[in-house]
């Protein structure tokens, strides 16, 4: 683009220079800035010492740069319009245990009053709605990187608040041309910042050193080859592991022998004992008898610490029927094949304690979806003692009022010698949410174990029930027999079964898995009116429930200390009303700081140029006799210039432009007739110049 296009060959600056003193023809009469670009024109004027024109031509470049800078000064974006609103809180962290109605057998002596037959069967409601069940959503989160539940982030769950009264942003106006579809797709309509309690379950695990001694987890099985009649000692996983240690418990929740699975991907190894096997289960630690002669350890629902073991077994094995004379407890033996090993497999095991902790938090969340965008813990996490207060505790076990029921009980007691196992009475049973979660998670892989009497060891004489496949992973193509938690750890370890034999790797995966399962448990089936598994309506209490039976065993927290009774827990004192900040996203124009600085600098330069030109105009242009606006004005100035015209007729123009000896001047000259005229003409050496008027 041209910076200056004049009507003629000359320009004002050249004429002003010639009016002040004779100039070489290339800097005077032959000077032209026609078809020059902005920066080139500015440089050319500096070379010719046309200072004012140089300032003006550089200003034209600055003007274009200013236009470009102004286009980058503002950008369309989404901003926030903040306001303070008052919200109502209806929920708080659960303090009272969950209450169920359960049939208690009438007529038990006092010593058996806390042993509800099939008490674990009362937690089956934790496995309902399979399409949205917390066990499945947690597994999806861990194995496929699914979404976190609403009102939760990074393992923390936050007590939800009713946000329905907060209006959404109006998208009807688009006055500044902002792309509303883009805004809808990329920006949430309303963000809410509020303070609310937070809860998290975590786990503290330590390696079990007894895994180095195979007697604690392997049993020897004599196998007789029918063809050669040779007896070979092989090994199998004990159904009850770590006897005579603090970590005694079943290999699986029901302590049954494993009947699945082995890797069938290598056809050459099928029907041999060299097929890859991986077994992983989380099971509770059983209680030990106070006296050795009382028998084996036992699993008890109420009064347990709820600590558990994580076991991971990996090796090459196979399946075969055990000898009929192989010792098993009980009468009804199922003749399924059992998992056996020629060479002992490798094992890693952890002993884990599951603390639950809470804190006060400030969260920023999307009002529409409840997704937590960010959070900040305002206080140090503290243990939630209410998670362990009650473990299947019966209350108010009183005589029935109905005379017919009384008569039935009395008749039953006479027939059974004072022990009636037929007549049942509906009673209140309380269980804290931490207890509910632990039993629901640890027994999910073996739902049949929920039917076992809580005061007895689950029947180890049975083989596992392969029809029970709701919350476990059995795969004959990869050799996996895992509960959901172990499978999640296996996936997070990139399906490297051997890597989980490292105690640190297994512990890291266990910690993440446990926290995620607790997060999904807390976030499931939440109602803003009635609460959820870990939430309760504000001020909820157990008034009128009745005290626990006197024969209830002491309740134990995971750390081994006595659990704090509900009556001794501190009051929550939750405020039902509080203020929250609502940030509605609106369409705004944002100024670029860098573009602003550039614009200010360029505009300042242009203003300075304008001042200089305005001040210098009269002084600089006073040498001109008239304004030169067209080619006709230029012709008038050279029409009577005899020497100039004669020189043009005699030589070519290109030579004249490069001849440094020829100088021209704009001013008064005397022609051949002696008359004085003003114009542009050649100045000869030694010529006396007429003064400018």
Q: What is the pLDDT of residues 197-208, one digit of tens each?
A: 999 999 999 999
Asked if residue 111 has pLDDT above 80, the reply is no
Rounded to whole angstroms, the Cα distance separating 84 from 68 reads 41
* Secondary structure of residue 650 in the 3-state scheme: helix
Question: Considering the domain boundaries, does residue 667 fall inside one?
Answer: yes
Asked if residue 648 has pLDDT above 60, the reply is yes
Rounded to whole angstroms, the Cα distance separating 274 from 530 reads 55
381 near 360, Cβ under 8 Å? no
Question: Considering the domain boundaries, does residue 43 fall inside one?
Answer: yes
Q: What is the pLDDT of residue 226?
A: 59
Rounded to whole angstroms, the Cα distance separating 126 from 525 reads 10
- Phi and psi dihedrals of 585, rounded to 5? -80, 125
Domain that includes residue 606, residue range: 12-73+593-683
Rounded to whole angstroms, the Cα distance separating 684 from 681 reads 10
Question: Considering the domain boundaries, does residue 138 fall inside one?
Answer: no
Long-range contacts of 559-567 (CB under 8 A, 24+ apart): 559/353, 559/355, 560/305, 563/385, 563/388, 563/389, 563/390, 563/391, 563/432, 564/385, 564/386, 564/388, 564/389, 565/389, 566/95, 566/96, 566/97, 566/386, 566/389, 566/390, 566/430, 566/542
DSSP sequence for 564-587: PPGGGSPP----SEEEEEEEEEEE
pLDDT bucket at 301, cuts 50 / 70 / 90: low
Q: Which of 72-76, 339-343, 453-457, 475-479 has the lowest mean pLDDT?
A: 453-457
Rounded to whole angstroms, the Cα distance separating 104 from 98 reads 17
Question: Considering the domain boundaries, does residue 233 fall inside one?
Answer: no
* Secondary structure of residue 180 in the 3-state scheme: helix
Rounded to whole angstroms, the Cα distance separating 597 from 602 reads 9
Asked if residue 362 has pLDDT above 90, the reply is yes
Rounded to whole angstroms, the Cα distance separating 385 from 564 reads 6
Rounded to whole angstroms, the Cα distance separating 297 from 154 reads 38
Q: Which of 382-386, 390-394, 462-466, 582-586 has the lowest mean pLDDT?
A: 462-466
Answer with the residue of higher pLDDT: 297 or 507: 507
* Contacts of 370 by beta carbon, 8 Å cutoff, 6+ apart: 150, 151, 160, 163
158 near 198, Cβ under 8 Å? yes
- Phi and psi dihedrals of 434, rounded to 5? -65, -40
DSSP sequence for 272-284: SS-EEEEEEEEEE
Q: How many domains does the chain have?
A: 1
pLDDT bucket at 229, cuts 50 / 70 / 90: low
Q: Which of 128-137, 196-205, 612-621, 650-659 has the lowest mean pLDDT?
A: 650-659
Answer with the residue of higher pLDDT: 689 or 303: 689
**∠ at Cα 511 (508, 513), nearest 5°?**
105
Q: Which of 49-58, 261-270, 372-381 has the lowest mean pLDDT?
A: 261-270
Asked if residue 550 has pLDDT above 70, the reply is yes
247 near 232, Cβ under 8 Å? no
**Each residue of 380-403: pLDDT tens digit?**
999 999 999 988 888 765 555 556
439 near 120, Cβ under 8 Å? yes
CA 556 to chain centre: 35
When mean pLDDT is compared over 79-88, 405-414, 485-494, the highest value belongs to: 485-494
Percent above pLDDT 90 for the chain: 32
**How many H helices and E strands in the chain?**
13, 27
What is the arithmetic mean of pLDDT over 633-649?
A: 71
User: Both tokens of residue 101?
Assistant: 């109605």
Across 13-112, the runs of DSSP E, i.e. the strands, are 23-24, 74-88, 91-93, 98-105
Average pLDDT of the chain, as a whole number = 77
Tell me whether strands 480-483 and 472-475 are parallel, antiparallel or unpaired: antiparallel
* Contacts of 177 by beta carbon, 8 Å cutoff, 6+ apart: 76
pLDDT bucket at 488, cuts 50 / 70 / 90: very high
Q: Which residue has the tokens 């209350």?
A: 395
**∠ at Cα 12 (9, 17), nearest 5°?**
105
Rounded to whole angstroms, the Cα distance separating 342 from 149 reads 46
**Each residue of 180-198: pLDDT tens digit?**
444 444 455 789 999 999 9
Question: Considering the domain boundaries, does residue 288 fall inside one?
Answer: no
Answer with the residue of higher pLDDT: 322 or 558: 558
Question: Considering the domain boundaries, does residue 556 fall inside one?
Answer: no
Question: Considering the domain boundaries, does residue 61 fall inside one?
Answer: yes
From residue 369, how far is each of 29, 129, 160, 411, 578 by CA, in Å? Answer: 78, 21, 12, 60, 21
Rounded to whole angstroms, the Cα distance separating 69 from 439 reads 66
Question: Considering the domain boundaries, does residue 648 fall inside one?
Answer: yes
Neighbours of 556 (CB within 10 A): 19
Burial (Cβ within 10 Å: 0-12, 13-18, ≥19) of residue 456: exposed
Rounded to whole angstroms, the Cα distance separating 104 from 549 reads 12
Q: What is the pLDDT of residue 254?
A: 83
């Amino acid at each position: 683009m041209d910076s200056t296009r004049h009507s003629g060959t000359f320009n004002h600056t050249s004429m002003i220079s010639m009016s002040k003193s004779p100039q070489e023809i290339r800097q005077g009469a032959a000077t032209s800035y026609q078809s020059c670009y902005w920066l080139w024109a500015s440089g050319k004027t500096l070379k010719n010492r046309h200072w004012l024109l140089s300032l003006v031509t550089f200003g034209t470049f600055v003007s274009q740069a200013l236009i470009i800078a102004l286009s980058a000064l503002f950008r369309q974006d989404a901003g926030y319009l903040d306001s303070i609103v008052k919200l109502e809180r209806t929920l708080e962290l659960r303090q009272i245990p969950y209450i169920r109605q359960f049939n208690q057998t009438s007529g038990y002596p006092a010593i058996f009053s806390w042993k509800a037959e099939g008490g674990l069967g009362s937690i089956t409601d934790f496995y309902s709605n399979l399409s949205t069940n917390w066990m499945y959503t947690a597994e999806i989160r861990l194995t496929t990187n699914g979404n976190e539940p609403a009102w939760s982030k990074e393992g923390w769950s936050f007590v939800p608040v009713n946000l329905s009264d907060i209006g959404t942003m109006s998208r009807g106006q688009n006055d500044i041309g902002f792309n509303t579809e883009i805004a809808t797709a990329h920006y949430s309509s309303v963000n809410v910042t509020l303070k609310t309690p937070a809860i998290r379950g975590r786990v503290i695990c330590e390696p079990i050193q007894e895994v180095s001694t195979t007697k604690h987890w392997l049993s020897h099985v004599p196998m007789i080859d029918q063809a050669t009649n040779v007896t070979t000692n092989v090994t199998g996983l004990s159904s009850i592991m770590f006897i005579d240690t603090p970590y005694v418990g079943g290999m699986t929740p029901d302590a049954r022998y494993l009947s699945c699975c082995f890797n069938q991907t290598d056809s050459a190894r099928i029907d041999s004992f060299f097929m890859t096997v991986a077994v992983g289960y989380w099971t509770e630690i059983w209680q030990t008898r106070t006296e050795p002669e009382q028998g084996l350890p036992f699993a008890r629902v109420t009064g347990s610490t709820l600590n558990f073991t994580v076991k991971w077994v990996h090796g090459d094995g196979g399946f075969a029927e055990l000898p009929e004379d192989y010792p098993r407890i009980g009468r009804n033996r199922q003749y399924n094949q059992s998992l056996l090993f020629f060479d002992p497999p490798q094992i890693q095991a952890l002993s884990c304690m599951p603390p639950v902790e809470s804190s006060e938090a400030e969260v920023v969340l999307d009002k529409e979806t409840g997704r937590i965008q960010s959070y900040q813990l305002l206080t140090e996490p503290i243990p939630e003692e209410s998670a362990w207060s009650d473990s299947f505790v019966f209350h108010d076990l009183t005589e029935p009022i109905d005379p017919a029921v009384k008569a039935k009980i009395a008749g039953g007691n006479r027939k059974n010698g004072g022990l009636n196992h037929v007549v049942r009475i509906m009673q209140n049973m309380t269980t804290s949410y931490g207890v509910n979660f632990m039993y629901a998670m640890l027994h999910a892989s073996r739902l049949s174990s929920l039917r076992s009497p809580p005061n007895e060891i689950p029947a180890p004489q049975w083989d596992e029930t392969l029809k029970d496949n709701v919350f476990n992973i059995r795969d004959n193509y990869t050799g996996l027999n895992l509960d959901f938690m172990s499978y999640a750890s296996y996936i997070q370890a990139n399906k490297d079964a051997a890597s989980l034999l490292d105690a640190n790797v297994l512990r890291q995966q266990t910690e993440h898995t446990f926290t995620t399962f607790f997060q999904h448990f807390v976030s499931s089936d939440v109602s803003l009116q009635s609460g959820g598994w870990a939430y309760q309506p504000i001020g909820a209490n157990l008034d009128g429930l009745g005290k626990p039976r006197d024969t209830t065993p002491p309740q134990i927290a995971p750390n081994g200390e006595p659990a704090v009774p509900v009556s001794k827990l501190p009051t929550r004192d939750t405020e039902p009303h509080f203020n929250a900040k609502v940030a509605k996203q609106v369409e705004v124009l944002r100024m670029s700081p860098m573009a602003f600085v550039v614009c200010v600098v360029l505009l300042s330069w242009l203003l300075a140029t304008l001042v200089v030109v305005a001040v210098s105009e009269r002084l600089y242009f006073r040498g001109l006799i008239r304004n030169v606006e067209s080619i006709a004005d230029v012709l008038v100035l050279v029409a009577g210039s005899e020497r100039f015209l004669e020189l043009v007729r005699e030589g070519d123009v290109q030579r004249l432009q490069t001849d440094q000896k020829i100088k021209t001047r704009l001013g008064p000259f005397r022609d051949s007739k002696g008359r004085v005229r003003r114009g542009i003409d050649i100045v000869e050496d030694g010529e006396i110049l007429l003064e400018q008027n």
